[in-house]
Structure 1
Amino acid sequence: MSDIGNAGTRRGPLRLGVVAAVLTGMLLLLCCTGGTAAFFLTGLGGDDAENGDAMARMECGPVRAVNIAGKLPRFAQYGDTQVRNAAIIIKVGQDMGVPSRGWVVALATAMQESALRNLANSGVPASLALPHEGVGADHDSLGLFQQRPGWGTVAERLNPAYAARKFYEKLVKVESWQQRPLTVVAQRVQVSAYPDAYAKHEEVASRIVDALARGAARTVEINGKAVCNAAERGQIAASGWTAPIPGGVGSGFRTASRPSHNGVDIGAAKGTEIRAAATGRVLVSTCDEDRRGRQDCNVDGFPGKGGCGWFVDLLHAGGYITRYCHMVVQPFVKKDQIVTAGQVIGKVGSSGNSSGPHLHFEVHLRNDRNASGAVNPVPFMRERGAPLRAAE
């Protein structure tokens, strides 16, 4: 239903630096034409977002209790001891009744603070002979979360279960922590000198949680119960993602009849709220030119007009970019604005190259806004617990 496959392409590639802050109605058959996380479970076949959806096929729920003493899966960048530390962090969260979003936050934090190693420091007397897995750079910070003296004794902070419990105790006191960006929540707990660094670990932390606890990062808390693959209408999955609108996918990604269709069309009534699929920074918020070079987005478009209409591109941690096209009015967000997962960024319309109201939604990898970076949004969103539903 749009000329979106090439939206932004004729402008040339956008050169992006490292983003520290981050880092839907009757369904119509609508016509449209047209880095990234490098850590994966051994044996899952490489980059799932690009080459398949092995993670999306992983069973989700009921959430499995982690067996710390059992055999654990292997990860390309972490050894057995580090994975076991991750399992301890998750198990403590499970035992405390902390929702699975908290396990992702805790893992990402420990990944940044210690690379999941139980670190001592030069200030620990050798006479204590406490078990640890290396010596950190900070003189008075210890353990998986590099906790300082106020968190407990030396022996306590070097106990992974104790350290995890103390982290969760403070985490759950952060207001609206399940809806807020991981960087914000982790910083409220840790008070780190580098608060933005946590975001880069969210993707891998989610994959570890999925592997160790039966797809738990794909769940959302509904009425106190973890429900799989249901993150929509502003509810955020433990992975940090949500569906941009509730609705059925009509036109698919790069079909035989439309090979340059670089996204999917989701049918929705005009005016349906569009939400940011994840926390990110606004790259583009504008009216796309039509085939004649006009910026004419305040009226309904038509097939063959060309252009994305009113649209937004968001950059997320991990180098992911999401695109939202054919809005009915100017988007509610501006370039360089930081938006949170589930935040309303605009409303469904039919501007640009469109035959009726819908959202054209794209996902791109490696900071690449062009067609070369586009991947199928359906498996990508499903493996994050925020599936785009099939048309009924």
Structure 2
Amino acid sequence: MGDDNSPRRKLRLGALAVALTATLALLCCTGGTAAFFLTELSGGSDDLSPEAQSACGSSHQVKVSGKMPRFAQYGESQIRNAAVIIKVGSDMKVPPRGWVIAVATAMQESGLRNLPHLGSRNDHDSVGLFQQRPSQGWGSPEQLQDPSYSSRKFYEKLVKVPGWEQLSLTRAAQRVQVSAFPDAYAKHEELASKIVDALAGGAARTVQVAQRSICNAASRGQIAASGWTAPIPGGVGSGFRTASRPRHNGVDIAAPKRTLIRVAATGRVLVARCDPANNGQLSCDVDGYPGKGGCGWFVDVLHAGGYVTRYCHMIVKPRVVPGQLVKAGEVIGEVGSSGNSSGPHLHFEVHLDGDRSSRGAVNPVPFMRDRGAPLNGKA
């Protein structure tokens, strides 16, 4: 078992300072824990409706009239504005990833409210859902207070950004908005994805392939509209906290050595190092074995919404370093068998609320499936 009693360090995810005070005790695939606590952005907690969960892969018909789904943070008129944003994107044949970006942008800029000019309370002449400025050529004040018009103007600029679908939400939104607070968009991605799913039949869980939205196909570097991808292709072998391994806080995905491991979503690297186990006496640069202990070479990444993903048993030192910003699908390492391992595989964990200990761990299988990036394993 390896311990890290380093003093408190501060990492930034955008404009947010994350204070870490940590004692790491990883036993990975024998069910160890890591006692880390941090303060981080919190996303929306609204669950998808059963209708939205079952509708993934539908034609994504969006209604802007009638009763709207409920989200704790927003009233019906605000969700109706989100529906208008999504429908305009759909009518313009913008892929669903663009809908998530647009809704998240409007959440940050106006709280999904169609704001008039706020006079002395406003820094500039910004109006509408996206706080677009007439003085910068977006349109007249009257036009920009039409949600359909302002949404169309946003999408027109978004699709002209080279490679916008591969950019992080923050970078894509910033290229359109040129905001004074460019790092503020990321915290809305999780809830924006849920709103898009609820209003457009699971659209945030799709991948755009040959101009078609394919449900649950995010692997091999493809990114779902939600912004998530599977770390490696393959299916789950050893599951989450099974009867035989109740302390197994992740899942194991078998793969050949040197298979590329991709980060599941955009985020900031928290840890990238060797967990050598047995009081640091054993190396991570050799194959491990059952009972050795430790995660071997591993990486932890913090994502918007307070999610943390963990990637264990890499064959060599990770390709990333603590504090580095990584975008969804970026290669962070290679599959190996270092640490407590009986063969080449990726041990993959997901933690909630920034809690890297066993208390924060959740089953990655339904978590990733709900984001359109299934691990293709058993629930």
Same fold flag (TM > 0.5): yes
Which residue is 1:353 aligned to? 340
Relative to structure 1, the CA distance from residue 308 to residue 349 in structure 2 (aligned partners, 3 Å threshold; closer, same or farther) is same
Residues 1:20 and 2:45 aligned together: no
CA distance in 2, matches of 1:155, 1:221: 34
Alignment-derived partner of residue 31 in structure 2: 33
AA of the residue aligned to 1:93:
G
Q: Tell me, yes or no, if the aligned pair for 1:22 and 1:316 is still in contact at 8 Å.
A: no
1:284 aligns with 2:280: no
Tell me whether 1:337 sits opposite 2:335 in the alignment.
no
TM-aligned CA deviation for residue 292 of structure 1? 3.7
Query: What residue is the counterpart of 2:350 in the other structure?
Result: 363
What does 1:204-283 align with in structure 2 at a 5 Å threshold? Answer: 204-283=191-270
- Answer yes or no: is 1:147 the counterpart of 2:138: no
Q: Deviation at 1:299? A: 0.6
Q: Does 1:203 align with 2:208?
A: no
5 Å-filtered alignment, 1:292-303, equals 292-303=279-290
User: What is the TM-score normalised by the length of structure 2?
Assistant: 0.89
Cα offset, 1:65, TM superposition: 1.4
Two-structure CA RMSD over aligned residues (Å): 2.4
Structure 2 Cα separation of the partners of residues 299 and 54 of structure 1: 47
Q: Is the 8 A contact 2:275 2:294 kept in 1?
A: yes
- CA deviations on 1:313-341 (whole Å, 9 max, x unpaired) are 00111111000000011111111111110
Contact 2:43–2:188 under 8 Å retained in 1: no
Structure 2 unmatched ranges of 5 or more: 18-27, 33-39
Structure 1 position 40, deviation (Å): 4.0
Q: Shift of residue 22 of structure 1?
A: 8.2
Rounded to whole Å, the distance in 1 between the matches of 2:159 and 2:283 is 48
Match of 2:304 in 1: 317
Give percent identity, aligned residues only.
65
Match of 2:36 in 1: none
Cα distance per residue 1:227-268 (max 9 Å; x no partner): 001101000000000000001101111111111111000010
The one-letter code of the counterpart of 2:133 is: R
Provide the rounded CA distance (Å) in 2 between the counterparts of 1:288 and 1:226: 40
1:79 to 75, 86, 103: 75
Deviation at 1:12, TM superposition (A): 9.0
CA distance in 2, matches of 1:21, 1:234: 27
Q: Which is richer in strand?
A: 2
Counting matched residue pairs gives: 359
Q: Which amino acid aligns with 1:142?
A: V
| CA distance, structure 2, for counterparts of residue 367 and residue 276 of structure 1 | 17
> 1:217·1:385 contact (CA, 8 Å) conserved in 2?
yes
8 Å contact kept, 1:118–1:158: yes
CA distance in 1: counterparts of 2:216 and 2:8, whole angstroms: 32
Tell me, in whole angstroms, the C-alpha distance in 2 between the residues paired with 1:111 and 1:38. Answer: 12
* Cα distance change, pair 31–109 in 1 and its aligned pair in 2 (3 A): closer
Structure 2 counterpart of 1:110, one-letter code: A
Contact 1:56 1:383 in 2 (8 A): no
- What is the rounded CA distance, in whole Å, between the counterparts of 1:309 and 1:72 in structure 2? 48
Displacement after TM superposition at 1:62 (Å): 1.5
Tell me which of the two structures has the higher relative contact order, counting C-alpha pairs closer than 8 angstroms and 6 or more residues apart. 1
| Residues 11, 270 of structure 2: 8 Å contact kept | no
Alignment of 1:89-100 (within 5 A): 89-100=85-96
CA-CA distance at 1:56 after TM superposition? 8.4
The farther-off stretch of 291-300 and 149-158 is: 291-300
Distance verdict in 2 for CA 1:164–1:115, change over 3 Å = same
1: CA distance between counterparts of 2:244 and 2:6?
26
CA distance in 2, matches of 1:112, 1:314: 24
Query: 1 CA distance for matches of 2:15 and 2:30?
Result: 33
Counterpart Cα distance in 2 of 1:120 and 1:57: 36
Counterpart AA for 1:170: K
What are the superposed Cα offsets for residues 32-80 of structure 1, whole Å, 9 maximum, x if unpaired?
4335645344xx4xxx8xxxx9698442121321111232211111111
Tell me how far 1:390 sits from its aligned partner.
Answer: 1.7
Report SS of the residue matched to 1:389: coil
